[in-house]
Chains A and B, each alone.
Chain A
Amino acid sequence: MITVKEAGFRYNESEQEAGGFRNISFSLQRGEILSILGPNGCGKTTLLKCLNNLRVPDRGSVSINGKNISGMSRDQIARRVGYMPQSHRPVFPLSVLDVILTGRAPHLGSFSSPGKKDIAIAREALEALGLSGLSDRPYNHLSEGERQLVFLARVLAQKPLALFLDEPVSHLDFGNQTRFLKLVGCLAESGMAIVITSHFPDHSFLLPGKVALMNKGVFVKIGSPEDVITEDNMREVYGINVKILEVEAGAMRKICVPVFDANAADDSSMLGSRKTYRETMKYLSMNGMKNKSLKLN
């Protein structure tokens, strides 16, 4: 139902790659999940925004059910696609229920406000996620994790055909992360097409569906988790050594763990800056020694 053809986007004409992407093609049917993995700043969020027409791709096209989204109005898109942003900074202390009701907007006329039916749908969504207790709480007093759950409830109240989730578990606790992933699986089973970005390769093994490994604005690999998340690929994209192991946890499944060796020769840098990891460590240890000597005095 979602087809992306050679899409590309650049923030700045002169700047290459910084946050943009190019040559991205994939398609997703109802009930399918695509998880996108990739380092910070590789273009995951920008890609999701283009899938939603929040940003208009410079090149290529994005279509939903065969219809190019660039020709659709905002509420036409919103009736088909739900989007969950990475984080959100609220200004006014709207109640949680009021926030969830905003998800009903694409189904309401320009001059109307939510009625009983919409309130019932919003309450259902809260209940489904076990958040009923939050309903009257001011939304900006919640923790980031609670807000992410509220956002999922809102996107459910929106009743879209497809979901784009941008690092939806980044602020969730250990237990809620797993529950959230299960829920994503259920939503896909119910027929939604889901694109989810993540920083956890393990999560891709837990989710049914395809994985895309993204780096510097392109899909390095796309396919089944077993084919994509390999020791070689992960090393190439993230610059660290990993081990892919098979464990018995509920059922046999693969996990991806980093090889943590403080003495390993690792010369990659964070965020592609010139400073290498080793130089960073040297700087930190020097500072540490200074602090120590201060304490001794």
Chain B
Amino acid sequence: MKAKTSSKESSINGDNGACGGEAGVKRAIFSSVLVVALILLVIASFIIGRYPVGIAELVRFLLTGEDLTEGGILKTVVYHIRFPRIIAAIMAGAGLSAAGTAFQGLFRNPIASPDILGVASGAGFGAGLGILLSGEIAVVQTLAFAFGLLSVGLVYVAGRFVKSNSTLALILAGMAVGGVFNALLAMLKYVADPVDQLPSIVFWLMGSLASVDNRDIMFAAVPMTVGLAVLYSIRWRLNIMAMGEEEAMTLGLNTTRFRFITVVSATMVTASVVCVSGIIGWIGLVIPHICRMIVGPCHKKLLPVSALMGAVYLLFIDNIARSSASVEIPLGILTALVGAPVFLYLIATNDRSWA
């Protein structure tokens, strides 16, 4: 009995050892709160909406597949509308927050966001092109995904030409390539048919999960899962990278390769989110900040906690987006309206270290 207790104690101490002692307790509480919040939100998201679903009805349908409604409305609402939307919100929130955390660590820059290398601008242009060329959702998504990757690829190639400080070079190249794609997107908007094409482009750019279906989820799930899995497995090494380029090299890190792997994974995650949801800003910037303040800056714990909180946050916001007004409010508007003031509050109150 005694031996059992002591071994338990030592394992707790061992856990606390990596990634902060005091933060360890806070982190455990915070993570549990997030998990509970996520479960409650998922249940609430099935119930809330224009077509009211009772808890008893929902539970019966989930357990037995029994649908007593006329024409299977319950199945349509729960399985074909709300289920993909819930999953998409969770995936997008988690993906953007994880990618933001990875970029902030990689670039040693607490104001880095998932689209710092121009993935959103590229994807926006791709989506615009898709809307102009065909208007088919599959085409729009594929082009958005492809141009998101392409813009980061261009940034990477441009950054390689600069000899010194490749991290800063990447960020600067990201601004340049993003600028080019924004200009091209403006061009597309200019030539787009103002009756139907232009509104779709504008609406796409504001971000929404309104039309997500199970096929979209399948489309995005593979690159997203692969990207997230890689980010998760290299997350501790972000601590080394955060020490600085040269220092990371003296600690045995092949920084060129590490940066490449991180950028590719984070970009895959971001692009697969953006191509399904459109552009949802501020999450990838603000969520990692809040989490860093609560659980500390060690990326080993920060990355999963950020992903979890991002999922909770976006699912919450998406519920507001679809149920607070008589029309859908685009997600990008809400995340910016909430995110920007919160961010201001954070930088105003956090005089410690910007991080």
Contacts and interface: CB of A to CB of B under 8 A. Distances in A.
Interface stretch (A27-35, A98-106, A224-232, A236-244): A98-106
Interface in B262-315: 292, 296-298, 300
Nearest to A116: B14
A98 B251 contact: no
B258 to A, nearest CB: 9
Given A73-B254, A94-B297, A111 B20 contact: no
B98 to A, nearest CB: 16
Contact of A119 (B14, B352, B355): B14
Interface in A14-58: 49, 52, 54
Given A75-B252, A78-B251, A92-B297, A136 B21 contact: yes
Interface residues of B, number: 40
Nearest to A95: B20
Interface string A70-114: 000111111101110100111111110111011101100011111
A52 B251 CA distance: 11
B251 A158 contact: yes
A98 B238 CA distance: 12
Contacts of A91: 108-110, 242, 353-355
A78 B252 contact: yes
Given A91-B355, A94-B298, A113-B236, A105 B251 contact: yes
B239 A102 contact: yes
Contact of B297 (A79, A93, A111, A119): A93
Interface string B136-167: 00000000000000000000000000000000
B17 interface: yes
A98 B243 CA distance: 11
B291 to A, nearest CB: 12
A88 B353 contact: no
A135 B246 CA distance: 24
A111 B14 contact: no
A77 B353 contact: no
Contacts of A209: none
A interface residue count range (under 10 / 10 to 19 / 20 to 34 / 35 or more): 35 or more
A106 to B, nearest CB: 3
Contacts of B354: 91
B244 interface: yes
Nearest to B104: A92
A123 interface: yes
B18 A114 contact: yes
A145 interface: no
Contacts of B353: 91-93, 138, 140-141
Residue among A54, A90, A98, A122 with most chain B CB within 10 A = A98
A107 to B, nearest CB: 8
A101 B355 CA distance: 20
B236 A99 contact: no
Interface string A260-274: 000000000000000
Contact of B250 (A54, A73, A111): A54
A105 B110 contact: no
B242 A94 contact: yes
Contacts of B109: 91
Interface in B226-248: 233-237, 239-240, 242-244, 246-247
Interface in B1-31: 14, 17-23
Given A54-B246, A102-B243, A93 B253 contact: no
Contacts of A123: 17
A140 B247 CA distance: 16
A103 B253 CA distance: 11
A130 B236 CA distance: 26
Given A91-B110, A92-B292, A92-B353, A74 B254 contact: yes
Contacts of B20: 95, 97-98, 136
Interface string B100-124: 0000010011100000000000000
Contacts of A135: 21
Residue among A49, A54, A74, A89 with most chain B CB within 10 A = A74
26 contacts: A74-B254, A74-B255, A77-B252, A78-B250, A88-B243, A88-B244, A89-B244, A92-B105, A92-B110, A92-B297, A92-B353, A93-B352, A95-B298, A98-B20, A98-B298, A101-B18, A102-B239, A102-B243, A105-B237, A113-B235, A114-B236, A116-B14, A116-B17, A136-B20, A136-B22, A141-B352
Given A101-B18, A113-B18, 19 more contacts: A78-B250, A82-B250, A85-B247, A92-B355, A93-B297, A93-B352, A95-B21, A95-B298, A98-B239, A98-B298, A101-B239, A105-B237, A112-B236, A114-B236, A116-B17, A119-B17, A123-B17, A140-B353, A141-B353
Which 7 residue pairs spanning A and B have beta carbons closest together?
A78-B252, A106-B252, A113-B236, A75-B252, A92-B297, A119-B17, A83-B250
